[in-house]
Amino acid sequence: MGKKLKDEVNCLFKCLEIEIDGVFKSLLLLKKKKYAALNVVNWGTKDEQIVKEVKGLDMVRRDWCPLSKSVGNKVLEEILSGKEREAIVLELNNYLSAIGTSMKDGSMNLAEYVITK
């Protein structure tokens, strides 16, 4: 479908030529230059593979603690998993409740809270 759209646009507008830059299986777009996606690399070939791509979000920045990064990665993994919405919500609710409990009872390693810059 993408190739057909590209061909139609290139045929109709001779001074404008577009190319397919990337194909995403799933995309969570928060705002400009802040997204997480499952990128289909080598799309349309036998070497096709799916790679997680994260740009501009907290978990790829250096000035956040390891706990924030690991929780963010888990949430993204679940959201982009392709499971049904109810299953995702249930899994995340259980996971975040467990993290909250371990933070409250002091069993979380203190190194998880350290921010290095």
Residue 33 token pair? 């230059």
Give the CA angle between residues 97, 102, 107 to the nearest 5°: 170
Residue 10 has pLDDT above 90, yes or no: no
Do both 12 and 31 map to the same domain? yes
Q: Which domain holds residue 109?
A: 57-117
The distance from CA 108 to its chain's CA centroid, rounded to whole angstroms, is: 26
Q: Domain check: are 29 and 62 in the same one?
A: no
* 9 and 28 housed in the same domain: yes
pLDDT class for 83, splitting at 50, 70, 90? very high
Kindly report, residue by residue over 15-41, the tens digit of the pLDDT: 888 888 888 888 899 998 899 999 998
> Looking at residue 63, what is its pLDDT?
82
